[in-house]
Amino acid sequence: MDTMNSTTFSIANLLSFLRLSLVPALVWLALEADADWFLVVLAVSLVSDILDGYLARKLNQVSDFGAKLDSWGDSLTYASMIFGLYQIWPAIFTEQKAYLLSATLSFIIPLMFALKKFGEYPSYHTWGAKVAAVLIAPAYYMLILIDADTWFRMVILFYLLVAAEEILITLILKSPATNVSSAWRLIRRRDA
């Protein structure tokens, strides 16, 4: 179901490659405890995440490859965010440990379901996942900059709902798919 009309090196995919290339920089900045530059590079990464999906749709560059590339970029960026908390802001990491564990499990458990059923990394990009991705950036920055953890915790709880939906999608699908808007749409199609 690949609708890509251009090459692997489309603008959208280049933004995903950029995000992937920023992961080692984020890890290095975290190891150096360079909080300011970590937050700047992370902001660039998160903005590129918003832009890649938007441009892929706008420029008709949506592809299975691009969806998978975006998912890898998301996962590694989020892992870098957690690592940054651990290295640069250990007190915040400790305070949020249960929520960070929940966030990690909200990634690992749906991944395990998809790997077991389809043998590949899922790239569903549901509406819930898109909303969660937009919400996590301000929640993370508010947590670090103004010690506001309520919004961060609510976003993590929302990620748990997204994970449940991704598990449901995996259970419903008969073969792997990318860019699935929602489990509810799959259920309606199946029942129609």
Domain check: are 58 and 24 in the same one? yes
Give backbone dihedrals phi and psi of 167, rounded to 5 degrees, phi first: -65, -45
pLDDT value for 2: 45
Neighbours of 91 (CB within 10 A): 9
């870098």: which residue's tokens? 80
Domain that holds residue 137: 92-192
Domain check: are 71 and 35 in the same one? yes
Domain check: are 17 and 98 in the same one? no
Closest CA to 16 of 77, 62, 73, 58: 73
| Pairwise CA distance, residues 125 & 88, whole Å | 30
Domain check: are 18 and 78 in the same one? yes
Closest CA to 132 of 76, 74, 176, 79: 74
Please count the CA atoms within 13 angstroms of the CA of 1 that sit on its side-chain side.
Answer: 9
Q: pLDDT band at residue 82, thresholds of 50, 70 and 90?
A: very high
What pTM value is reported for the model?
0.85
Domain check: are 6 and 72 in the same one? yes
| Pairwise CA distance, residues 128 & 136, whole Å | 12
Condensed to tens digits (0 to 9), the pLDDT of residues 84-129 reads 999 999 999 999 999 999 999 999 999 999 999 998 888 888 889 8
127-147 mean pLDDT: 92
